[in-house]
Chains A and B, each alone.
Chain A
Amino acid sequence: AQSVAQPEDQVNVAEGNPLTVKCTYSVSGNPYLFWYVQYPNRGLQFLLKYITGDNLVKGSYGFEAEFNKSQTSFHLKKPSALVSDSALYFCAVRRLSGTYKYIFGTGTRLKVLA
Chain B
Amino acid sequence: DGGITQSPKYLFRKEGQNVTLSCEQNLNHDAMYWYRQDPGQGLRLIYYSQIVNDFQKGDIAEGYSVSREKKESFPLTVTSAQKNPTAFYLCASSIGGGPLSDYGYTFGSGTRLTVV
> Which residues on A are within 8 Å of B, measured CB to CB?
9, 32, 34, 36, 41-46, 49, 51-52, 90, 92, 94, 99-102, 104-107
- Asked, given contacts A43-B90, A43-B109, A44-B107, whether A100 binds B102 with beta carbons under 8 Å apart, the answer is yes
Q: A90-B43, A106-B42 are in contact. List 10 more A-B contacts (CB 8 A).
A: A9-B40, A36-B105, A36-B107, A43-B109, A49-B104, A99-B56, A100-B31, A100-B50, A100-B94, A101-B58
**Residue in contact with A51 in the complex, picked from B41, B50, B88, B100, CB distance below 8 Å:** B100
- Asked, given contacts A41-B112, A43-B90, whether A94 binds B107 with beta carbons under 8 Å apart, the answer is no
**Residue in contact with B104 in the complex, picked from A9, A46, A52, CB distance below 8 Å:** A46
Task: Establish whether residues A106 and B110, one from each chain, have CB atoms under 8 Å apart when the complex forms.
Answer: no
Task: Establish whether residues A44 and B40, one from each chain, have CB atoms under 8 Å apart when the complex forms.
Answer: no
**Total contacts A-B at CB 8 Å:** 66
Q: Is the interface on chain B under 10, 10 to 19, 20 to 34, or 35 or more residues? A: 20 to 34
Let me know if B33 is at the binding interface, CB within 8 A.
Answer: yes
Interface centre among A41, A90, A99, A101 (most CB of B within 10 A): A101
Task: Establish whether residues A51 and B33, one from each chain, have CB atoms under 8 Å apart when the complex forms.
Answer: no
A19 to B42, CA, bound (A): 21
Task: Establish whether residues A106 and B40, one from each chain, have CB atoms under 8 Å apart when the complex forms.
Answer: yes
A94 to B6, CA, bound (A): 24
Task: Establish whether residues A99 and B50, one from each chain, have CB atoms under 8 Å apart when the complex forms.
Answer: yes
Let me know if B106 is at the binding interface, CB within 8 A.
Answer: yes
